[in-house]
A = this chain, B = another copy of it.
Amino acid sequence: MSASRQFASDNTAGVHPDVMRAIAEANRGHAGAYSDDPYTERAVAAFRKHFGDDCDAFLVYNGTAANVLALKSVVRTHHAVLCTEFAHIWYDECGAAEALVGCKLMPLATGNDGKLTPERVAPLFDRLGDQHGSQPRVVSISQTTEVGTVYSVSEVRTLSDLAHSRGLLLHMDGARVCNAAAALDLPLRAFTRDAGVDVLSFGGTKNGAMCAEAVVFFNRALGADFRFIRKQMLQLSSKMRFIAAQFDALLSGDLWLRNARNANTMASLLASLVRDVPGIELAREPEANAVFARLPPGCAARLRETYAFHTWDAATNEVRWMCGFDATEADVRAFADAVRRAMAR
C-alpha cells in the first residue's frame, strides 16, 4: 500500500502530530508502571471532564479489547449479548467475546440503517427465566454504526429504557464515538451517559491516536473488578503513560472533535462528489465518516488498481469508503476523480 491517504479504513491513517508529540513528551525519566503514573491520572480526569466526576475510565490498547472487557465486566457465561448482525463484536473480532467472556452473542437483523430497534430486541426477552436459553443481559449498539449511521439521543434512550425495564444493561461500542458527537453536534455525554448507556467502549485510535481505547463505566460499581479483568485480559500496559498521553492530547482540548469533524466533513464531501455520477448509488446517506455506494460491475475492480477499500456486500456490489481523521479535501477530490474514471472506462 502506498503512503498516500487511503479510504479502506480509518486505521490506515497514522497518528495525529499532536498525539505523537504528547507521546514523545511523556518520555521523561521514570514513571510508575502499570497505570500508577500522573499521565494516567490526567487521562482519567479528561474522561471525567467529559462524562462526569463519578464515572470511571480504564485505558486499554485496542477497540476489540475495549468491547470484550466492557462485556466481561458485566456478563457471565450464561448471559447473552444482543447486537446487530453487523456489530463489530459479532462479526469482526474473531469470536473474542465467545472465547474470553464465554457468553453468547445474538446477532439481530437490521434495516438499511444498520441500527438495532426495540422491535428486534424485545422478542428476545421471551427467554428470560428459561433455563435452556442464554439469558439476555446486555444490549450492545455501535455508535456510529458499522454502516456509518448515527443513533439519535432518543433512539439510544428508547433502547436503554427497554433494556433497563428488564434488568439489562446498554453497552455502546464507541470505536467512532467522536464521529458520532460531531455528527450529532452534541457533547459526548449527551448521547451516552445522559441517554442511559451503562458502559461505553471509547475509541481513540481511529480518532488520531496510535493505540488508545478506554472502557468508561457510568456506574462505577460495574467496573469494581475491572483492574483485575484488564490485567487478566492482557490489556494492562506496563508503560501505561504512553497510552494515557494519547488520550490527554485528544480529550483535554478539542482535538478529538476537530479530528472527528474533519473525517465527517470529508465523507460528506465525497458523497456529494459521487452522488450524481451515473451508475453509482449511495446505499444510504452518510451521517459520519463512511460512504457506502453500490457500483456497477467492474467499477470496483478498476478503482482498486489505485485505491484499497472494502466490499461491504458482494451480492449488491456495495462498497465502503472510510474517511480518516486526516483526510484532506485534495485526497477526497482525487478519489472522487478516480471513481469517475473507474465508471467511465
Chain A interface (Cβ within 8 Å of chain B)? Answer: 1-6, 8-9, 11-15, 17, 20, 23-24, 26-34, 36-37, 61-65, 68, 76-80, 91-96, 98-100, 102-105, 107, 126, 131-135, 205-206, 210-211, 225, 227-239, 242, 308, 314, 324
Contacts and interface: CB of A to CB of B under 8 A. Distances in A.
A9 B239 CA distance: 11
A68 B308 CA distance: 34
A237 B225 contact: no
Contacts of A314: 126
A20 B78 CA distance: 34
Contact of A228 (B23, B32, B131): B131
B3 A30 contact: yes
Nearest to A100: B100
Contacts of A26: 14
Contact of A103 (B6, B77, B95, B324): B95
B20 A5 contact: no
Contacts of A230: 131
A30 B15 contact: no
B1 A13 contact: no
B15 A93 contact: no
Number of copies: 4
17 contacts: A2-B30, A3-B28, A3-B29, A8-B33, A12-B31, A14-B26, A14-B30, A62-B238, A63-B238, A77-B95, A77-B232, A78-B95, A98-B104, A100-B234, A102-B102, A131-B228, A206-B238
Contacts of A96: 231-234
A62 B96 CA distance: 18
B92 A133 contact: yes
B37 A229 contact: no
A323 B64 CA distance: 34
Nearest to A12: B30
Given A3-B29, A61-B61, A94-B134, 16 more contacts: A3-B30, A5-B30, A9-B33, A14-B28, A17-B27, A23-B23, A64-B234, A77-B232, A78-B232, A92-B132, A98-B98, A98-B134, A131-B228, A135-B225, A210-B239, A233-B234
Choose among A4, A6, A68, A95 the residue with the greatest number of B CB atoms under 10 Å from its CB: A95
A238 B95 contact: no
A31 B1 contact: yes
Nearest to A63: B238
A91 B100 CA distance: 20
A28 B20 CA distance: 12
Given A62-B234, A95-B103, A27 B11 contact: no
A83 B205 CA distance: 35
